[in-house]
Amino acid sequence: MDARTFRTTPTFTPTTREGDIGFLHRVEPIGGYAKCYAAALLVPAFGVAVPTLRLADVIRAKRFADRPKDRAALPELEAVAAKCGDS
């Protein structure tokens, strides 16, 4: 994927040997990249710090999206959040 396509594609989910990775230009109801980055948790991976949405924000976004697949994922995510204290 070239830089222009990456900039103009709202979502991009490459599959790696470690699994799928979702890249989004915007996460509702949080906002665009700047707002997501400001709220992100920096997770060390592969020798770099990767800005990652906090679990509470993932749950918030899934509730907002309210698609069947998001509703189905919520019980597990909420259980993990309760165990980790990130709700």
What are residue 40's phi and psi, to 5 degrees?
-75, 155
Query: Any bridge partners for residue 51, and if so which?
Result: 42
Total domains present in the chain: 1
- In whole angstroms, give the CA distance from residue 26 to residue 48: 22
State the Cα–Cα distance between residues 60 and 44, nearest whole angstrom.
23
Per-residue pLDDT at 87: 57
What is the domain extent for residue 55?
3-84
Residue 61, pLDDT score: 95
Tell me, what's the pLDDT at 47? 94
Query: So what's the pLDDT on residue 60?
Result: 96
Per-residue pLDDT of the chain (87 residues; tens, 9 = 90+): 677 877 788 888 889 898 998 888 889 999 988 999 999 999 998 899 989 999 999 999 999 999 999 999 999 999 999 999 875
Is 25:13 a contact under the CB 8 Å cutoff? no
